[in-house]
């Protein structure tokens, strides 16, 4: 028995054909846990996903799912097919990348997801560079919360993501994702003069009595900030919350409290308050990620190279 490939199907000779699209749905089910979540992520109805998985079971000739209460879970055969499907889908990515490399130009479309500060500070320069080098390439950009970006990349909603990782909150290595560091982004206290009488506040612990302005609970940045404050010996008294870092910056510089912000915020935005460095010198890691197998796709190689170039040319923040 051997594998044969034809268009969107793989076939074990002597068995039914296995549809690549349905195999992808099975992989997504293994990652997301419920048919409803798969349907939402891929913009299908739940009934369509169930129907497609049922057809995949017929193609496989063995049960792939079993009912557990109101949910389904993978059988041993289903888990086996998921492992093979992940490898097959990566090979398809590599084949597409190899075919694209035979072209002398970079054309088509590329979909990028990013977080707010990178969208403000880096993406305009990246777009200028891409438009100059490859005018026939269309780049689609979406701002997305970093904590949902990896699953969106796996679901093929995007081709590349710009991600962030806060100190002490290392993200687990995800199978099927090729990740590369771009740069380290220092984190510092940002606070108005009214909270720094005689400039005697020099450490994080010195701001224990100051109101704090942080991201909402549950966000990695908030978790890190609270952990840092507790390590300094106090529980931050959070008065204001926002997922928009520019809102945090504006509230801080108008005297409503202190906040903790990465330096990338100040690329193109003139600070009007004061900075206080933290003794432990924490940094936020900024990285790019693509699906394994697609890392050799010429447009993604070029996009990553341009991002590195743009980051290298960033002006140092003057304090």
pLDDT in tens, 134-184: 999 999 999 988 777 888 888 888 999 999 999 877 666 777 889 999 999
Q: How many CB atoms lie within 10 A of CB 106?
A: 19
- What is the Cα–Cα distance from 111 to 114, expressed in whole angstroms? 10
Dig out the tokens for 146 from the structure.
Answer: 């970093």
Closest CA to 183 of 255, 125, 230, 122: 122
Q: In this predicted structure, what is the pLDDT of residue 102?
A: 66
CB 161 within 8 A of CB 289: yes
- Work out the widest C-alpha separation in the chain, in whole angstroms: 83
List domains and CATH numbers for the chain: 3-100 (1.10.10.10), 106-319 (3.40.190.290)
CB 89 within 8 A of CB 293: yes
Q: What are phi and psi of 217, to 5 degrees?
A: -60, 145
Q: In this predicted structure, what is the pLDDT of residue 152?
A: 84
Q: What are phi and psi of 103, to 5 degrees?
A: -80, 150
Q: In this predicted structure, what is the pLDDT of residue 253?
A: 94
Query: What's the pLDDT tens digit per position in 172-225?
Result: 677 788 999 999 999 999 999 888 755 677 789 999 999 999 999 988 899 999
**DSSP conformation letters of the chain:** --EEEETTEEEETTS-EEEHHHHHHHHHHHHHSSHHHHHHHHT--HHHHHHHHHHHHHHHTS--EEEETTEEEE-HHHHHHHHHHHHHHHHHHHHHHHHHHTSSS--EEEEEEE-HHHHHHTHHHHHHHHHHH-TTEEEEEEE--HHHHHHHHHTTS-SEEEEEE-TT-PPPPPTTEEEEEEEEEEEEEEE-GGGSGGG---SGGGGTTSEEEEPPTTSHHHHHHHHHHHHTT---EEEEE-S-HHHHHHHHHTTS-BEEEEGGGGSSS---SEEEE-TT--EEEEEEEEETT-TT-HHHHHHHHHHHHHHHTPPPPP-
- What is the Cα–Cα distance from 152 to 62, expressed in whole angstroms? 30
Give me the average pLDDT of each 10-residue run along the chain (319 residues). 42 59 83 82 81 85 84 86 82 76 78 93 93 92 84 87 87 81 95 75 88 94 94 95 95 96 90 90 95 90 94 63
Q: In this predicted structure, what is the pLDDT of residue 228?
A: 94
Q: How far is CA 46 from the centre of its chain?
A: 25
Q: In this predicted structure, what is the pLDDT of residue 172?
A: 66
């Amino acid at each position: 028995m051997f594998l044969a490939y034809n268009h969107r199907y793989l076939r074990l000779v002597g068995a039914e054909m296995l549809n690549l699209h349905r195999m992808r749905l099975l992989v997504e089910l293994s990652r997301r846990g419920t048919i409803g979540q798969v349907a939402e992520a891929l913009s299908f109805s739940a009934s369509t996903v169930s129907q497609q998985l049922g057809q995949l079971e017929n193609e496989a000739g063995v049960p792939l799912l079993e009912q557990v209460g109101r949910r389904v879970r993978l059988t041993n055969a289903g888990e086996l097919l998921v492992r093979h499907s992940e490898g097959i889908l990566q090979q398809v990515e590599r084949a597409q990348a190899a075919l694209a490399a035979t072209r002398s130009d970079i054309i088509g479309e590329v979909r990028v997801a990013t977080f707010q500060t990178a969208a403000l500070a880096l993406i305009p320069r990246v777009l200028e560079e891409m438009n100059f080098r490859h005018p026939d390439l269309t780049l689609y950009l979406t701002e997305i919360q970093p904590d949902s970006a990896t699953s969106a990349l796996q679901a093929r909603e995007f081709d590349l993501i710009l991600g962030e990782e806060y100190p002490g909150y290392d993200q687990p290595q995800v199978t099927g994702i090729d990740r590369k560091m771009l740069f380290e982004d220092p984190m510092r206290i940002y606070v108005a003069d009214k909270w720094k009488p005689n400039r005697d506040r020099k450490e994080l612990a010195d701001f224990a009595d100051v109101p704090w302005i942080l991201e909402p609970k549950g966000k990695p940045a908030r978790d890190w900030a609270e952990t840092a404050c507790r390590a300094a010996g106090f529980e931050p008294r959070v008065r204001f919350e926002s997922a928009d870092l520019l809102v945090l910056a504006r509230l801080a510089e108008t005297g409503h409290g202190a906040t903790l912000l990465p330096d990338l915020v100040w690329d193109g935005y003139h600070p009007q308050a004061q900075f206080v460095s933290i003794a432990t010198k924490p940094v936020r890691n900024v990285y790019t990620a693509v699906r394994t197998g697609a890392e050799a796709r010429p447009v993604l190689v070029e996009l990553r190279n341009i991002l590195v170039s743009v980051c290298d040319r960033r002006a140092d923040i003057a304090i």
